[in-house]
Structure 1
């Protein structure tokens, strides 16, 4: 089972890049040095999935500016991804590359394949620049993704990643934290019971 802090399973897969209307083979490890957000969804030509892509696309440039690359992944081929991108009013506006997981290998390795073995469950994984998993979320297939939360979680993880911790101190992101706010600088002995 995938866990926080472990190295994300590497993979190589054909990917449809809608911005250039081309298919390229990518490797996850080629993106070391960048944050990677893998958004898993059950399938092309489905209803909530199109809203996920549209919502993520609404903040796509903000993620890119902060050094993150978003990829969509489902158990569809790149040809299905292209057809969906060409025909869906929502998806046709997207620049988010769509990964082919027709063999279900990626969904299986990441723990997102449903119990029947048919499709990926709706969810998300955030991987840091060193290739370590820092965030995992999986939820009901009828529940669309909350991009404000995803962006806030990503920015919080970025602060944790980039903030050096002094001796005996811990950097932490409190509940309801907003990007731009200061993180908590906790003295792990002195601050016990004070928050």
Structure 2
């Protein structure tokens, strides 16, 4: 019996070391060498060098002087990366309809002079509930509110939105998008 058990134990130990130590060490080393920023969470810092968040995870911005991202469907706290998920509410679910109506009302209260249609990504959560980007239309919708609050000309903010708009990946995948954290950090730099 020992004769049959010994090769199994040796194979178990070898494979454990290979797949549990050597392979992860190689992959981690390559990631750190080739993609250091991404391997460390794509962290963003402000002008003082303070880490403010990740460019890959939506952040809660509620000040009228900042651009707002997509609503978060995570619970119990908004933008809780540990609870990433969608709301799982269908388009005819009364709870979703009520939530969207409340979000539209909140946007109208925050900027009563804005008569433009509210972009859908400002009132609906994404599948993960943590999207860091909004559409250029959603950023444009917020320009006048942010400009009034910060006492900045809207044209300056529009140029900042344009400068922070990412095009389609490889020219054909996805849609143009604006990373809300990057935009707000660039705007904070502008205000200094």
TM-score normalized by the length of structure 2: 0.26
Question: Hey, which of these two has a bigger chunk of helix by percent?
Answer: 2
- Structure number with the bigger relative contact order (C-alpha 8 A, sep ≥ 6) is 1
Larger radius of gyration: 2
Question: Hey, which of these two has a bigger chunk of strand by percent?
Answer: 1
